[in-house]
A = this chain, B = another copy of it.
């Protein structure tokens, strides 16, 4: 085992303490510092992590030469500036989703990280979930056949945010999982949505990503749903899979069900369709907190120099989709081509 990476957490709102807790219990990193401009918050959270130095300013943190890497969990509007400063100070950077507010910022940071040879990784936490890892292996193995649709539903009575709408708040989860599976950007994006009443931001939204090659991916995110649903469905010509994040005992199910289409050899005038209703398998999934995997993977990439699976490139693609979706939303749902943004 190598020496643990010294890491500090910036921003101690909702997510930051989770990062700190996982960092402090990970064998691969050492929680060296925490940082928040609110002194009261800093001390309240700091009392749980006595070994971490407390910083009220980013500059003070970045000056600490013991700190090798930082994890950013501040409001999204501040991500780009903090990440830029940290990379320039020679720190490795893990950024909470959504990455940044525009693709130009995303690209600039990726280029900077490359230039200074530091690891820039996205905290796309679901990409590191053991069930998604299993699903990705299945997807890439070809066992599903040709995948024709992906349908992700992430709805709940959620906290309306002030700084982002539901699209930028929730959809990065779905988009990063989709990106991890598909591995390329969509051709175009369409989005429709609605607010939850006068004075509220977009709180219900639907995204449709046309990936070409017969693949359509759709995402439904909703802050106003009275029920909590997290369904991620992948439909292939041979098999289909459902990742249900709320089913603790069987989070991933693989269905040997589908439609067989045989084309009439004599002229293709008729299509012969038959159904398969086969077994359902729920593979055993290790019970590991996904955020623990994030922390360990970040340390591993820093040490080895290899590209994270939730890389800056993935971060750029997710932000590009969100940016295009915002444009589509403003245009009443018209599809926006990714290159034409």
Residues of A at the B interface (CB closer than 8 Å) are 47-48, 50-51, 146, 148-149, 151, 153, 157, 159-160, 188, 190, 192-200, 203-204, 206, 208, 210, 214-216, 218, 220, 222-228, 233, 235, 237, 240, 242, 249-250, 253, 255-259, 261, 263, 268, 271, 273, 275, 277-284, 332-335
| 22 sampled A-B residue pairs with Cβ under 8 A | A149-B194, A153-B153, A157-B258, A159-B275, A190-B333, A192-B210, A194-B214, A196-B235, A196-B237, A197-B214, A198-B214, A198-B263, A200-B261, A203-B259, A210-B332, A224-B240, A226-B240, A226-B242, A226-B253, A227-B242, A227-B255, A278-B284
> Is there an interface contact between B200 and A214, defined as CB atoms closer than 8 Å?
no
Contact pick for A271, options B199, B222, B333, CB 8 Å: B199
Residue of B nearest to A200 (CB): B261
Residue of B nearest to A224 (CB): B235
A208–B193 Cα distance when bound, in Å, is 9
Interface centre among A194, A253, A277 (most CB of B within 10 A): A194
Give A243 Cβ to nearest chain B Cβ, in Å: 12
> Is there an interface contact between B259 and A196, defined as CB atoms closer than 8 Å?
yes
Contact pick for A235, options B188, B199, B226, CB 8 Å: B226
| Given A257-B226, A259-B200, A275-B157, A194-B206 contact (CB < 8 Å) | no
Prevailing SS type, chain A contact patch = strand
Contact pick for A228, options B47, B157, B249, B259, CB 8 Å: B249
A332–B210 Cα distance when bound, in Å, is 9
| Given A224-B240, A235-B224, A277-B157 contact (CB < 8 Å) | yes
A275–B281 Cα distance when bound, in Å, is 20
* Shortest beta-carbon contacts, A-B, top 8: A226-B255, A280-B282, A226-B240, A194-B216, A50-B50, A192-B208, A226-B257, A149-B204
> Is there an interface contact between B333 and A197, defined as CB atoms closer than 8 Å?
no
A146–B194 Cα distance when bound, in Å, is 13
Collect the chain B residues with CB atoms within 8 Å of residue A157's CB: 257-259, 275, 277
Contact pick for A224, options B197, B258, B334, CB 8 Å: B258
> Is there an interface contact between A148 and B220, defined as CB atoms closer than 8 Å?
no
Residue of B nearest to A48 (CB): B48
> Is there an interface contact between A224 and B148, defined as CB atoms closer than 8 Å?
yes
Contact pick for A279, options B225, B255, B282, B334, CB 8 Å: B282
A92–B131 Cα distance when bound, in Å, is 46
Contact pick for A222, options B151, B196, B228, B275, CB 8 Å: B151
A214–B202 Cα distance when bound, in Å, is 11
Give A194 Cβ to nearest chain B Cβ, in Å: 4
Give A91 Cβ to nearest chain B Cβ, in Å: 25
| Given A259-B197, A261-B200, A284-B273 contact (CB < 8 Å) | no
Collect the chain B residues with CB atoms within 8 Å of residue A223's CB: 259
| Given A47-B50, A190-B192, A261-B197 contact (CB < 8 Å) | yes
Give A151 Cβ to nearest chain B Cβ, in Å: 7
Collect the chain B residues with CB atoms within 8 Å of residue A50's CB: 47, 50
> Is there an interface contact between A250 and B200, defined as CB atoms closer than 8 Å?
no
